[in-house]
């Protein structure tokens, strides 16, 4: 077996190296169900939820209402203080997940403003307390997602702390908080992190296909690849990468693309009720990207407030693009 065919080991678990990353508002339960149809064994992340929101849940939080077929699942949380962590972990464990991930990389102003996400990279004593508590209360693997740093790079020090506190793996999106999603990810820094720790290191940032995974591997030597924006509008992305890894063809033609977009819409209606139609619209440009008439098609699909009309349009599009 070569590097690509070997699995990444996280605690006592192992997975293919291509992992479905967390995208808030995108990689929700309906989307993950679709990914599963292509990729039965790959690890998928949930969207991030604050531990307070999980701990105080009275049954209304959608993030805990996933299906078991979405597993193996890494449930991602944010935290800025200790008091909600134990209760949140109890609820997450009761919902049935495989791993819990702490987000120490989120750059959003409302998240860092409360001291969670990437703000924790600038407060190592607090981060240590939080990591220690997670490790204490979690009987399953625990991972952490970091950035290059908050305002200044300190990912190597943070990675060592994460390892010392007993985490089973870490992922790094090597940009500073101040860079948000702009600029080239600092793969040299990711390579330093990989060298500095013995737990598995997963790269996040700029990996959109097998070709880029290979380039990033050569520069970093990492153990796994978190696919973020590359999976948006392409629930088959992880399967495509696995096929290309084995030198096999993988083609989704336009008819199939419309089929999966329509299936995505149906899954969102089932999960969110009628408002799923409006929530689905953000996915459309990502499915239609690359089509010559993408903008006209998007217009057609977003003007209608009738689920039946939109479904009918998808049926027509599949007929028009039939082979
Ligand atoms: C719309 C959007 C939502 C995101 N939500 C999360 C999130 O909930 N948790 C997280 O750790 N990262 C989140 N990220 C960051 C991605 O997981 C990833 O680290 C980043 O986009 C870089 O990887 P990429 O180039 O593969 O997209 C989000 C990114 C985007 C664009």
What whole-number distance in Å separates Cα of residue 221 and Cα of residue 189? 11
Measured from the Cα of 207, ligand 1's closest atom is 26
Measured from the Cα of 206, ligand 1's closest atom is 25
Ligand 1, atom 16, residue with closest C-alpha: 228
Distances from the Cα of 253 to the Cα of 40, 193, 206, 301, angstroms: 22, 39, 24, 19
CA of 228 to the centre of ligand 1 (A): 6
SS (H, E, C) 222-246: CCEEEECHHHCCCCCHHHHHHHHHC
List the domains of the chain with CATH numbers.
8-245 (3.20.20.70), 254-320 (1.10.1200)
Ligand 1, atom 30, residue with closest C-alpha: 23
CA of 19 to the centre of ligand 1 (A): 13
- Per-residue pLDDT at 60: 83
189: closest CA among 147, 230, 229? 147
Ligand 1, atom 15, residue with closest C-alpha: 23
What whole-number distance in Å separates Cα of residue 137 and Cα of residue 83? 12
Phi, psi angle pair for 51, to nearest 5°: -60, -30
CA of 48 to the centre of ligand 1 (A): 10
Angle at 258 (CA atoms; ends 256, 259), nearest 5 degrees:
60
Residues 6 or more apart whose CB falls under 8 angstroms from that of 194 comprise 201, 220, 221, 222, 223
CA of 58 to the centre of ligand 1 (A): 27
- Per-residue pLDDT at 185: 98
The best mutation among 18, 20, 24, 51 to test binding of ligand 1, ranked by most ligand atoms within 8 Å of the C-beta, falls on 24
What whole-number distance in Å separates Cα of residue 62 and Cα of residue 54? 10
Residue 129's Cβ-count burial label (10 Å; 0-12, 13-18, 19+) is middle
- Per-residue pLDDT at 323: 59
Element (H, E) at 257: helix 254-272
What is the Rg, in whole angstroms, of the alpha carbon atoms belonging to the chain? 20
What whole-number distance in Å separates Cα of residue 116 and Cα of residue 123? 10
Q: How many helices (H) and strands (E) does the chain have?
A: 14, 11
What whole-number distance in Å separates Cα of residue 57 and Cα of residue 132? 24
On whether the pTM is more than 0.85, the answer is yes
What whole-number distance in Å separates Cα of residue 232 and Cα of residue 23? 9
- Per-residue pLDDT at 1: 83
CA of 35 to the centre of ligand 1 (A): 17
What whole-number distance in Å separates Cα of residue 194 and Cα of residue 189? 9
Q: Which two tokens stand for residue 270?
A: 């089932």
- Per-residue pLDDT at 322: 77
* pLDDT string in tens for the chain (323-residue length): 899 999 999 999 999 999 999 999 999 999 999 999 999 999 999 999 999 999 999 988 899 999 999 999 999 999 999 999 999 999 999 999 999 999 999 999 999 999 999 999 999 999 999 999 999 999 999 999 999 999 999 999 999 999 999 999 999 999 999 999 999 999 999 999 999 999 999 999 999 999 999 999 999 999 999 999 999 999 999 999 999 999 999 999 999 999 999 999 999 999 999 999 999 999 999 999 999 999 999 999 999 899 999 999 999 999 998 75
CB atoms inside a 10 Å sphere around CB 188:
10
Q: What is the DSSP string of 268-286?
A: HHHHHGGGHHHHHGGGHHH
CA of 171 to the centre of ligand 1 (A): 12
Pocket residues: Cβ below 6 A from ligand 1: 21-24, 26, 47-48, 76, 103, 105-106, 145, 173, 181, 204-207, 227-230
């Amino acid at each position: 077996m070569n590097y690509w065919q070997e699995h990444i080991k996280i605690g006592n678990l192992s997975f293919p190296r291509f992992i479905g990353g967390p995208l808030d508002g995108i990689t929700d339960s309906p989307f993950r169900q679709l990914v599963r149809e292509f990729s039965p064994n790959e690890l998928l992340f949930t969207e991030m939820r604050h531990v307070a929101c999980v701990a105080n849940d009275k049954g209304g939080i959608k993030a805990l209402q996933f299906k078991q077929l979405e597993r193996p699942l890494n449930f991602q949380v944010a935290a800025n203080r200790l008091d909600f962590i134990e209760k949140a972990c109890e609820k997450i464990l009761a919902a049935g997940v495989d791993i819990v991930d702490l987000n120490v990389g989120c750059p959003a102003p409302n998240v860092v403003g409360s001291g969670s996400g990437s703000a924790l990279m600038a407060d190592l004593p607090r981060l240590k307390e939080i990591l220690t508590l997670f490790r204490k209360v979690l009987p399953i693997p625990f991972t952490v997602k970091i950035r290059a740093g908050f305002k200044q790079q300190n990912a190597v020090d943070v990675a060592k702390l994460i390892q010392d506190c007993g985490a089973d793996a870490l992922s790094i999106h090597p940009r500073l908080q101040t860079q948000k999603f702009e600029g080239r990810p600092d793969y040299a820094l990711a390579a330093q992190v990989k060298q500095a720790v013995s737990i598995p290191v997963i790269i996040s940032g700029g990996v959109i296909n097998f070709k880029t995974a290979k380039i990033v591997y050569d520069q970093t030597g990492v153990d796994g690849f978190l696919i973020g924006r590359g999976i948006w509008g392409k629930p088959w992305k992880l399967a495509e990468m696995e096929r290309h890894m084995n030198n096999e063809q993988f083609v989704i033609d336009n008819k199939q693309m419309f089929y999966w977009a329509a299936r995505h819409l149906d899954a969102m209606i089932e999960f969110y009720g009628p408002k799923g139609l409006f929530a689905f619209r953000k996915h459309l440009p990502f499915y239609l990207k690359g089509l010559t008439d993408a903008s006209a098609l998007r217009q057609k699909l977003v003007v209608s407030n009738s689920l039946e009309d939109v479904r009918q349009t998808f049926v027509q599009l599949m007929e028009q693009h039939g082979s």
